[in-house]
Structure 1
Amino acid sequence: MTLNLGRPTLGSLPGDLLHEERTGMEKTDPHGHSADPHDDFGDFHRDLPLMLPRRALFGFGAVAGATALFPGLASAAGKVVNACVVSPSETQGPFPADGSVMAIGDTTPTRAAEMAKTAPNILVQSGLVRTDLTRSFGDFKGTAEGVPFRLKLKITDAYDCVGLKNKFVYLWLADAHGTYSVYNHPDQNWLRGAGITDQNGEITFDMVVPGCYPGRYPHIHVQVFENQDWATSGRNALLTSQFIVPEWVCRQVYGLPLYKGSPEHMAKTSVNWDGVFRYSSPAEVAMQTPVVTGDRRAGYVGEVRVGLWRAPGDRSRVKPIPYDYGAGPNQRGLRNGKPVK
């Protein structure tokens, strides 16, 4: 289905959002000062001093390398450096529908047999492979509300920047109200879909700009699998990560009545304070932030690169980044550019 780039239709609004992802957000900044959410909201240049110590820059070990990198980082104009960086492993959150989470908010490890019976797993459902994620598929009927957003992903080998073909990519996100299908809406499965990368490692999805809900900065979830045969559970993913919705896009879109509540939630967080993104280095933040153009009337078009890890000189298949599904955001797949053993 072709992306509708016309003016978005404003629909009815649901009640207050009842869910919240685990973030471990602090009431003070890392230096012990009062964390006024309005002070750093959207100002990436002020976030950098706090982000630098979080994690070493991948491929830019020295401070000099970091200084050289800064001019190419994400900005309000959508500029971003096209560096070969390993995309960080991130939590899949409470709403993946990939067979790993049994109920809202439950991210604790469970026996495989028990999980297989109760955990929603959209990966094994017919109809998941599609480009238009705005509509539900299979037995469900419905359309997600939100401003149109077309996103092209390029899955690459972070060692040499070469695009990786035939990788299976699963994407999911919240709608304009900050709610998720399958979990908040058991009778819907919109804003979830998958596809296979082409010869250049690229794949495109049509979705909407997600709303902002309490405790999280606006984001999009992604999982990458070696191929479709491996995509039977999120535990088989080569990478589970998240994309950052550019702050300038959020500012534009959240002025619409359809996104009621998002401005207030957005004012209480930032990339630097988010329980997931605050652990990313500036290089990773740039990698996780799509380059976007457009406006809230016509819709948005963006591109983002995903870097998979492979040891230098290793010409075999790319390797999965270790991640403990039962851990919080402190459990990183990579530390200082090296896989966690």
Structure 2
Amino acid sequence: MKRTDFLKKGLIGMGSLVAVPTVLHACSKDKDPFNEKEELVECELSPSETTGPFTIKTPSQLMRENIVGDRSGVAMLITISVLDKSNNCNPLSGVLVDIWHCDAQGYYSEYGNTSLQEEDFTQSHFLRGRQTTDANGNASFISIFPGWYPGRAPHIHLEILTVNETSIRVSQIAFPKSVCDTVYTSTDYKGEADTLNTGDSVFSDGVDGNMTDSLTGNNTDGYTLLKTIVV
């Protein structure tokens, strides 16, 4: 599906979450990250991180572009670009990308009634999804900006898998504090996160490889997130 069609189809019917933010690339304003691969200074494997306690239970059933479900929050278009280190970091097409993250209040779908999360969302599947990378190695999702929960900095989980569902790499995406602070002033969120990236145990070995490549937009129009994952 063309990116323009993806945006038109995915954002229709989302109420106030309909404006598409302008894409600004962190490295060059002259290049379109959806049409060509940016040159990387170094081709390093993306950090390998834990899947966490709230992994997707039935990812094959969640093949979808729009993962918002019934959740509310600041709109976000997430594009994951997968590169193959063993092939000169060329785009890797035809692999599966799974992503999952908490809602604006810090709750995960598919879990609940436990010490980790008292609220019961065991019958819900919001903010979880799977896509297959296109010829340029890209997979996009329409979501909302994730909230936070005690002890973790704001983050998104992701896993790259072969078409046979063999895991290639599990990682997490971190966010700049300044953007989080801005988003968390919105009414759907619960204020400033209690844990910084530097105080998060998952990112204790360094957060540079986890940080978003580009994150642009505003609370009214939504945000565009671009992240390159090298596998």
TM-score by length of 1: 0.54
Q: Match of 1:256, SS?
A: coil
Q: Match of 1:275, SS?
A: coil
**Corresponding position: 1:269 with 2:195:** yes
Supply the distance in 1 between the matched residues of 2:105 and 2:213 (Cα, whole angstroms). 21
C-alpha displacement at 1:281, in angstroms? 6.0
CA contact (8 A) 2:45 2:230 kept: yes
Supply the distance in 2 between the matched residues of 1:189 and 1:305 (Cα, whole angstroms). 25
Supply the distance in 1 between the matched residues of 2:15 and 2:44 (Cα, whole angstroms). 35
Aligned counterpart for 1:303 among listed residues 222, 226, 230:
226
Aligned counterpart for 2:171 among listed residues 234, 238, 241:
241
C-alpha displacement at 1:176, in angstroms? 0.4
Letter in 2 for 1:130: R
Identity, in percent, stands at 32
**Corresponding position: 1:170 with 2:98:** yes
Q: Match of 2:178, SS?
A: helix
Structure 2: tracts of 5 or more residues without a match: 1-8, 18-23, 28-38, 113-120
**Higher normalized helix content (fraction of residues):** 1
Aligned counterpart for 2:47 among listed residues 64, 74, 88:
88
Q: Which residue is equivalent to 2:110?
A: 182
Q: Which residue is equivalent to 1:149?
A: 76
Supply the distance in 2 between the matched residues of 1:190 and 1:271 (Cα, whole angstroms). 25
Cα deviations by residue, 1:288-337 (Å, 9 ceiling, x for unpaired): 424011100110012110000xxxxxxxxxxxxxxxxxxxxxxxxxxxxx
C-alpha displacement at 1:186, in angstroms? 1.2
Cα deviations by residue, 1:35-86 (Å, 9 ceiling, x for unpaired): xxxxxxxxxxxxxxxxxxxxxxxxxxxxxxxxxxxxxxxxxx9846944221
Letter in 2 for 1:302: L
C-alpha displacement at 1:6, in angstroms? 6.4
Alignment of 1:129-148 (within 5 A): 129-135=63-69, 143-148=70-75
Cα deviations by residue, 1:186-207 (Å, 9 ceiling, x for unpaired): 1210111101101111111011
Letter in 1 for 2:178: W
TM-score by length of 2: 0.77
Cα deviations by residue, 1:73-121 (Å, 9 ceiling, x for unpaired): xxxx984694422111101111003xxxxxxxxxxxxxxxxxxxxxxx2
Letter in 2 for 1:238: I
RMSD of aligned Cα (Å) = 2.3
Q: Match of 1:259, SS?
A: coil
C-alpha displacement at 1:146, in angstroms? 1.4
C-alpha displacement at 1:7, in angstroms? 4.0
Alignment of 1:183-332 (within 5 A): 183-184=111-112, 185-227=121-163, 229-230=164-165, 236-260=166-190, 262-263=191-192, 266=193, 268-280=194-206, 282=208, 284-285=209-210, 288-308=211-231
Alpha-carbon spacing, 1:173–1:281, altered in 2? closer, same or farther (3 Å): closer
